[in-house]
Amino acid sequence: MTTLRDLSRHLGLSVTQVSRALNNHSDVSETTRERVQAAARELGYQPNVSARRLVTGRSGMLGLVLPDVPPEPEDSMFVQIVGGLSQHLSRLGRQFVLHIADPKDDIVEVYRRLTSGGAIDGFVLLDPELKDRRVAFLRQAGVPFVIHGRIEEPHDYPFYDIDNRGVAETLTRLLIDAGHRRIAFLNGPRGRTYAVSRRQGYRSALADAGLREEAGLHRFGPMSEGAGLLAGAELWGPQGPRPTGVVCGSTRIAAGLLRALEALGLDVPGDVSVVVHDDALPGLRAEAFATPLTATWSPLKDGWPHLARLLADAVDGAPLERLQLVGEVQLIERRSVAPVPSRSEASRALTDERSGVS
């Protein structure tokens, strides 16, 4: 088995330098860290967890807790999350632990068991909620964590996120600029912080344009095809408010919505303009629908290397300013938005039609 001393001789560095490079200490240059970690992979070096714990008081293990087995439609996303985090933590010399809890267990008690005795050094937290109990417990216990997203202020914790309020403002304003005044927003689950931020962005865009939020046009719900299908049937059915534009919080929602609109004989964008936030989920891309959808685009997979690094750095005691990162979002315009004629244009068109003007 390759030891630290073997790596030291192979690289011509001291054992201390090699150890600090493998543990990502800030006083080791990026070039040296990469060189040491490449050699460790090449020679098959595996850290001795017991020895590490004796020297540093830490296990080198970083965890992800899921409250239940993901539903079948999310299998590919589950593999991407677990594979991405595990791969990038391995490159940082850390071990990854996945724990799927019994859904009947209290989630705080799950974290309490996992942190007792120092078995796991820190956690990645997914799907944060307002007043998140996991965050409250880990803060009190002094256990490092990084959030994929953000909770309410103060933002005094490590996170990787995108500007979800900005996503909603951008998509809503794009429809407003095309003349739409009745705009639905099919959002994520109630209480999830990204969904709360997106509702704020939707409301802000409407208010800036002098529009009021109509009851029933904003909907919290699961990020699922079924939610989009149900919303389509209710919003554009016989008794529905029939908005002219809709913002979908995910491509899963958009897939269901487009099925509903097709069944109702409605055309995109002729009858309804549709825009979406595209996380680049496996097999569900905004450009791949029958009518390619205008989208804000920010692949979820881009976050896994950042989350791995931020958590490793948090465990190593890096300052907070190095532990917060907002990812990029691109706007990609396609063919799913059509302009709504102004009242004067619509009136003129109707007059022309009645008078036989072509």
Question: Residue 110 domain-assigned?
Answer: no
Please check whether residues 168 and 295 belong to one and the same domain: yes
Q: Total structural domains in the chain?
A: 2
**pLDDT score recorded for residue 351:** 44
Question: Residue 261 domain-assigned?
Answer: yes
Q: Are 212 and 206 in contact (CB under 8 A)?
A: yes
Give the CATH number for residue 254: 3.40.50.2300
Residue 290 contacts by C-beta under 8 Å, 6 or more apart in sequence? 258
Beginning with the edge strand found earlier in the chain, give each strand of the sheet holding 122-125 in spatial order: 95-100, 61-66, 122-125, 145-148, 159-161, 324-326
Q: Are 197 and 155 in contact (CB under 8 A)?
A: no
pTM of the predicted structure, to 2 decimals = 0.80
Closest CA to 269 of 294, 252, 288, 249: 294
- Domain with 196, as residue range(s), is 164-299+330-340
Give burial (CB, 10 Å; 0-12/13-18/19+) of 207.
exposed
Domain end residue (candidates: 13, 28, 46): 46
**pLDDT score recorded for residue 153:** 86
Question: Residue 84 domain-assigned?
Answer: no
3-state DSSP assignment of residue 184:
strand
**pLDDT score recorded for residue 354:** 46
**pLDDT score recorded for residue 24:** 66
Please check whether residues 171 and 36 belong to one and the same domain: no
Please check whether residues 40 and 172 belong to one and the same domain: no
Q: 75: how many CB neighbours lie within 10 A of its CB?
A: 12
Question: Residue 80 domain-assigned?
Answer: no
Residue 82 contacts by C-beta under 8 Å, 6 or more apart in sequence? 64, 96, 98
Give the CATH number for residue 27: 1.10.260.40
* Ranges under pLDDT 70 in the chain: 1, 23-24, 26, 46-59, 72-74, 342-358
Question: Residue 224 domain-assigned?
Answer: yes
